[in-house]
Amino acid sequence: MRLHDLKPRPGAKHRRKRLGQGESSGHGKTSGRGGKGQSARSGSSIRIGFEGGQMPLIRRMPKRGFNNANFKTRYLPVNLETLNQFEDGATVDEAALRQRGLANGRADGVKVLGGGELKRKLTVRAHAFSASARAKIEGLGGACEVVPARTAATAG
């Protein structure tokens, strides 16, 4: 098989719909826009959920309950496999992880997960540990130190 033998799967490609090409084309006269009205005009676009001035459904529905999403603690996940970059006996904390690009983005803290195999004895300071990660770190003679996470209540 060569590059010139490659073809898209049957049905994957469609002809472009050519509008306004005469009545017999099926897309003539109003070009698929229906009759008169706002949506038939050029340059017209109506935002999603707009109901022509009628009170939109999303505003008619009652809002009930409590949403805890704003107060959720978000962790950056770091797998054990990536900690093998550090030297034997090193202390690994959030600053060291961010410096090496292993924990990027905005979050309340770092959570160490047990993915992969750890080959070094490390002292890991993080905001949370999974049970498997804690077992693997301490199994090699390392230490797990839990640091309090930064939440909306503590940031200030």
The first and second tokens of residue 17, run together, are 């719909």
pTM (2 d.p.): 0.57
Residue 80 near residue 45, CB atoms below 8 Å: no
Residue 126 near residue 109, CB atoms below 8 Å: yes
Look at residue 155 in the predicted model and tell me its pLDDT: 52
Domains of the chain (ranges; CATH) run 74-146 (3.100.10.10)
Look at residue 152 in the predicted model and tell me its pLDDT: 57
Look at residue 72 in the predicted model and tell me its pLDDT: 87
Give pLDDT tens digits along the chain (156 positions). Answer: 899 999 999 999 999 999 999 999 999 999 999 999 988 999 988 899 999 899 999 999 998 888 888 888 899 999 988 988 888 888 888 899 999 888 888 888 899 998 888 888 889 999 999 999 999 988 988 899 998 877 655 554
Q: Helix, strand, or coil here: 17?
A: coil
Identity of residue 45: S
Residue 28 near residue 20, CB atoms below 8 Å: yes
Return the closest-CA partner of residue 126 out of 68, 84, 56, 77: 77
Residue 92 near residue 98, CB atoms below 8 Å: no
